[in-house]
Amino acid sequence: MNTITLNIYRFNKETVSPSILQPFTLSYSNEETLLDLLMRVLYEFDSTLAFDKNCRIGLCGSCRLKVNGKVMLACSENVAKLVSEFGNELEITPYNCTKVVRDLIVEPQFENCSEIEVK
């Protein structure tokens, strides 16, 4: 097994705390997607992590986020491929076309959101 560090954007608009990047280091297999790792962080490390997911097959776009500044769908991105492109430390931030509600959850806005194509 390989290891990766996800530096995940954390924010809650209901508190006065500033946003931070919180690191989570975990192992991964070559078959796992970024969404798989986010789910593992949620269940194994921090049950307060907030992010959207629905279809898990790249159709709905609800898991849209940024990895090292590049917009992508967490359910469609293979972790091993991301490591080969960016290295074993990834910065996971909300998709910037909308307002952040909490962590990686954003208020949907559909105008001017053309940075990513949903399959």
Q: What is the 3-state secondary structure (H, E, C) of 68-117?
A: CCEEEECCCCEHHHHHHHHCCEEEEEECCCCEEEECCEEECCCCCCCCCC
Q: What per-residue confidence (pLDDT) applies to 118?
A: 53
Place of tokens 């962080």: 41
Q: What per-residue confidence (pLDDT) applies to 101?
A: 80
Q: What per-residue confidence (pLDDT) applies to 55?
A: 75
Residues of the chain with pLDDT under 70: 58-59, 97-98, 109-119
Burial class (CB in 10 A: 0-12, 13-18, 19+), 13: exposed
Kindly state whether residue 28 falls inside one of the protein's structural domains: yes
Contacts of 42 (CB under 8 A, 6+ apart): 49, 51
Q: What per-residue confidence (pLDDT) applies to 117?
A: 55
Q: What per-residue confidence (pLDDT) applies to 19?
A: 85
Q: Tell me the residue range of the domain where 6 lies.
A: 2-107
Number of structural domains the chain divides into: 1
Kindly state whether residue 118 falls inside one of the protein's structural domains: no
Q: Could you tell me which residues are beta bridge partners of residue 12?
A: 102
Kindly state whether residue 113 falls inside one of the protein's structural domains: no
**CATH code of the domain covering residue 58:** 3.10.20.30
pTM score, whole prediction: 0.85
